[in-house]
Amino acid sequence: MTLDPPTAPEPAVHAVHPSPNRLLEVRNVVHEFVVRGAGGVRGGVVHAVSDVSFNLDAGETLGIVGETGSGKSTLARCVLQAPRPKSGSVRFRGAELVGLRGGRLRQARRDMQMVFQDPYGSLNPRWRVTDIVEEPLIGFGDGNSASRRRRVRELLDLVGLNPDVYGRRHPRELSGGQCQRVAIARAIALGPALIVCDEPVSSLDVLIQAQVLNLLERLRTEFGLSYLFISHDLALVKQVSDRVAVMHLGQLCEVGPADALYRAPRHPYTVDLLASIPSLDPTAPRATRRAVAAGEPPSPLNPPSGCRYRTRCIRAQQLCAEERPMLRELGPGHEVACHFPEPVDGPEGTAATPPSANALYARSNSGGEP
């Protein structure tokens, strides 16, 4: 399972979660954007998603974390075929989506919905809340106008908006959190199996964010939804996810069960990310020198050879420049794409010490008393 070439038909993820209720299988997805260079002459290719594979089971939430430009949004959109990936395979309930067109693609998308980051930008400003929530029902020809109206009221109740108060309003008359509730009502209108949440709470204040997160959680348990939850916020992803995938410059670095991944991160990038989070504990040590030294991601126009994190990584060696590390399983369900993964935590990092970001990293200098 180690160091398969990128085109291997059976990447490690296959073996990890053999499950009968597999909802989504993403294999070797690649997506690139062609851009103009300076002056509009020279062409360049942004390697947004480079050979990514993962699975998602029904009822499961997979969190995808990464920095700006890591390709996490592109990856999620490739799942929905908007845009269609350049190569690779996306199987939803066993059926291949790549290559579907027109009506068949539309039918397939009925079970996959999306909630976007910008609550105002993703709702038509001239429509009323009821129109917005009703649209998918009309689009898929669900029921007659009376039954649709009933369903819209039901949906608004479900997301905690009183239909008599908010139904007639326009998005501009709502707060950001309320807009996001409308977007969620629209997303669940057709009873989907998968919802792609692209930074759904990033623009909300923390108290409103908690309300929306709890709403997503309630809907998940009530309807058995699966989420693909994209965020740059590691703590937020931990809160909502069963499994977490860490993405860097178009590739997955580390995938694993949320608890294991945060307790004992093995990829140096995950460790650096965790160490960069400002701790809520004023006595905890601040961001480590190592995390600060990690610098900014290289350009996706010209990614480094081998491991794409090697230019920022303190553990990098010659091999990292020569050979791309493939995901390999280092713990139950815990895969890491690194030639020289971080050692497993000592006892102080796993047991008594709560894995606050800095405590996690402070294992080497034992200064991480929480």
Partner 1 sequence: MSAARGYGPDRDGDRAPSAAANRRRTSAARGYGPDRDGDRSPSAAANRGSGDTVLQVEDLHVRFDQAGRRVHAVNGLSYRLRDGRTLAIIGESGSGKTVSSRALMGLLPPSATVTGSARIDGVELVGMPEEEIRRYRGADIAMVFQDPTRSLNPTMRIGSQVTEAVRAHAQVDKAAAKQRAVELLRLVRIPDPERRFHEYPHQLSGGMRQRVMIAIALASDPKVLIADEATTALDVTTQAQIMELLAELRERLGTAIILISHDLGLAASYADEVIVMYAGRAVEHAPTRILFEHVRMPYTRALLEAIPRLERDSHAPLPVTPGQPPDLTAVLPGCPFEPRCGRALPDCKVRRPPLVEHQVGHWWACWNPCEDGEPR
200 binds partner 1 (CB under 8 A): no
34 binds partner 1 (CB under 8 A): no
Q: What is the DSSP letter of 143?
A: S
366 binds partner 1 (CB under 8 A): no
Query: How many Å is the maximal CA-CA distance in the chain?
Result: 67
Number of other CB atoms surrounding residue 101 within 10 Å = 9
Between 197 and 258, CB nearer to partner 1: 258
41 binds partner 1 (CB under 8 A): no
Q: Contact region for partner 1 (CB under 8 A) — 20-28, 162-170, 203-211, 318-326?
A: 203-211
Q: Which of helix, strand or coil describes residue 83?
A: coil
- What is the SS3 assignment for 227-291? EEEEECCHHHHHHHCCEEEEEECCEEEEEEEHHHHHHCCCCHHHHHHHHHCCCCCCCCCCCCHHH
Q: Is 172 left (phi over 0), alpha (psi -120 to 50) or beta?
A: alpha
58 binds partner 1 (CB under 8 A): no
- Contacts (CB under 8 A) with partner 1, residues 257-316: 258-259, 262, 272-284, 286-287, 291-292, 294-296
* Minimal distance, residue 142 CB to partner 1, in Å: 31
8 binds partner 1 (CB under 8 A): no
Q: Contact region for partner 1 (CB under 8 A) — 75-83, 96-104, 125-133, 226-234?
A: 226-234
* Minimal distance, residue 287 CB to partner 1, in Å: 4
Q: What is the DSSP letter of 305?
A: S
Of the candidates 243, 310, 231, 309, the one whose C-alpha atom is nearest the C-alpha of residue 277 is: 231
CA dihedral (226, 232, 237, 243) positive or negative: positive
245 binds partner 1 (CB under 8 A): no
Between 142 and 348, CB nearer to partner 1: 348
* Minimal distance, residue 244 CB to partner 1, in Å: 9
Q: Contact region for partner 1 (CB under 8 A) — 2-10, 97-105, 136-144, 348-356?
A: 348-356
Kindly determine how many residues on this chain lie close enough to bind partner 1 according to the rule CB under 8 A: 53
Q: Write the single-letter amino acid at 302.
A: N
Q: How far is Cα 92 from Cα 198, in angstroms, rounded to an integer?
A: 19
107 binds partner 1 (CB under 8 A): no
Q: Which of helix, strand or coil describes residue 225?
A: coil
Q: How would you classify the pairing of strands 226-231 and 61-65?
A: parallel
Beta strands in 111-210 (DSSP E): 112-115, 194-198
209 binds partner 1 (CB under 8 A): yes
- The 59-78 contact track toward partner 1, x by CB under 8 A, reads --------xx----------
Among 234, 247, 271, 326, binds partner 1 (CB under 8 A): 234
Q: What angle separates helix 176-188 from helix 129-139, to the nearest 10 degrees?
A: 20
146 binds partner 1 (CB under 8 A): no
Distances (CA, A) of 171 to 18, 110, 175: 43, 24, 8
125 binds partner 1 (CB under 8 A): no
121 binds partner 1 (CB under 8 A): no
* Minimal distance, residue 361 CB to partner 1, in Å: 11
162 binds partner 1 (CB under 8 A): no
Summarize as ranges the residues that interact with partner 1 (CB under 8 A): 67-68, 175, 177, 205-211, 213-214, 217, 232-236, 238-242, 258-259, 262, 272-284, 286-287, 291-292, 294-296, 354-357, 360, 370
